[in-house]
Amino acid sequence: MVFLENKGLKNQIKKAELLFGFFCILNDMKKSILKTLLVLMLITGIAYSCSSNKAAIEPTAEEKIAFNETAGDTITIADEKTEYEIIIIEPGFNFWLQSVARPENYYSQSYLENRNAIWVMEWNQRVQQPLRYNSNLYELTINYDRTIDYGYDVNYKLYNYFIYFQRKYNQRLGTFIPRI
């Protein structure tokens, strides 16, 4: 058998293999750097979102007066058309509702229903976890069904109670900052 060798071709193949190996190493380095950058961006995003959600809610002077009320307020929220009723026993809430809360018809009913549905779901989850959440704050579940039209008054007062509760006790029932 006779083998013919072409040294030029052999050298070119070696150079091509070296170049290919170099590009593979370079490609692996790029992937590694990109992965590292992605992880750092993810960690930064999570840290930012966690810290921005925990901002303290500073009550206004009027709210402080309402929060310091000791006389028991009892508000009954009812809609005669739907025959549903909510009773809120919270000192200061009625004063806060009259003096601080946005007036009726400021929000649309669908806006109130959407927020209430989210907050009721979170509220009920906290009621079911008394070791994790203060059972003095989250005592009873709220039976709120999105498919039922409770009327504007029920939704308005329930929404404002959630705002009041979150601001008074510095709680967050979701991603929304409870603003007035």
Higher-confidence residue of 23 and 4: namely 23
CB 126 within 8 A of CB 133: yes
CB 125 within 8 A of CB 174: no
pLDDT score, position 22: 64
pLDDT in tens, 95-148: 888 888 898 889 999 999 999 999 999 999 999 999 999 999 999 999 899 898
Average pLDDT over residues 22-33: 70
**77 with 154, same domain?**
yes
How far apart CA 140 and CA 121 sit, in angstroms, is 12
**93 with 45, same domain?**
no
- Residues forming beta bridges with residue 89, ordered by sequence position: 74
CB 144 within 8 A of CB 131: no
Domain count, the chain: 2
Whether the predicted model's global pTM rises above the 0.85 cut: no
16 inside domain: yes
How far apart CA 140 and CA 116 sit, in angstroms, is 16
CB 177 within 8 A of CB 55: yes
179 inside domain: no
176 inside domain: no
Coil, strand or helix at 140? coil
**91 with 27, same domain?**
no
How far apart CA 6 and CA 134 sit, in angstroms, is 83
**29 with 107, same domain?**
no
Domain of residue 4: give its range.
1-54
CA angle 59, 61, 67 (to 5 degrees): 65
